[in-house]
Amino acid sequence: MPKINSRPATRIGYGFDSHEFRAGIPLKIGGVKLDHDRGLGGHSDGDVLLHAITDALLGAVAAPDIGALFPPSDAKWKGADSIVFLREALKRVRGAGYAVANMDASLILAAPKIGPHTSAIRMRVANLLAVTPDCVGLKAKTPEGLNLENAAIAHVVVLLQASRNTSRGKKRPRRR
């Protein structure tokens, strides 16, 4: 029988999310409040980037996705701070014996311009993931030719590495 590798040294995760812009609500991206006349509606506080990161983390350890863990139909999550979801995903990552190595994201939105806020968002996300800002990639693009002027989209990949401390206490197999 082939040997099954139950705990690979690295794991990859991918997350996607989209939200519609709505007037009269604050705009939050990557846990940072941005000055804009519209915010992102839908699930919780609409933080499209944190949702995609959360799903990437959950996917990397094959956990249920954000919609299954925090159903948008549950009034409890209306307007909720998305950091709560990210923290749960990180708990599951740690529980599986992994830590975040790095992540990379593409944000697609017509406005506001993300450039001036890139370093603030990267610092905030790095802090949440317990990595250094140089392990958080963030690219913002406008939706050229997509006819999606009223949406914000996030694609995220994360790489996890097996954390050293989980093997502590485990006996090494004896060599014969």
Q: Which stretch binds Zn ion (CB under 5 A): 11-19, 25-33, 83-91, 101-109?
A: 11-19
List CB contacts of 119: < 8 A, sequence separation 6 or more.
133
Residues 41 to 60: which contact Zn ion by CB under 5 A?
Answer: 43, 51
Count of residues interacting with Zn ion (CB under 5 A): 3
- Cβ proximity to Zn ion, 50 vs 140, nearer residue: 50
Closest C-alpha among 111, 16, 141, 6 to residue 61: 6
Number of residues assigned to the chain: 176
- Cβ proximity to Zn ion, 123 vs 151, nearer residue: 151
- Cβ proximity to Zn ion, 76 vs 171, nearer residue: 76
22 residue type, one letter: R
Q: How far is the CB of 108 from Zn ion (least distance, A)?
A: 14
Q: How far is the CB of 122 from Zn ion (least distance, A)?
A: 20
**Rounded to an integer, what is the distance from CA 81 to the centroid of its chain?**
14
CA distance 63 to 89: 8
- Cβ proximity to Zn ion, 43 vs 155, nearer residue: 43
Q: How far is the CB of 54 from Zn ion (least distance, A)?
A: 9
Q: What is the DSSP string of 75-128?
A: GGGTT--THHHHHHHHHHHHHTTEEEEEEEEEEEESSS--GGGHHHHHHHHHHH
- Cβ proximity to Zn ion, 89 vs 98, nearer residue: 89
Residues 54 to 113: which contact Zn ion by CB under 5 A?
Answer: none
Measured at CB, which residue is nearest to Zn ion? 51
The correct pick among 17, 60, 129, 140 for binding Zn ion (CB under 5 A) is 17
Helix-strand-coil split of the chain, %, nearest 5: 30, 30, 40
**Residues 83/128, Cβ–Cβ less than 8 Å:** yes
Q: Which stretch binds Zn ion (CB under 5 A): 15-23, 28-36, 54-62, 126-134?
A: 15-23
- Interface residues with Zn ion (CB under 5 A) are 17, 43, 51
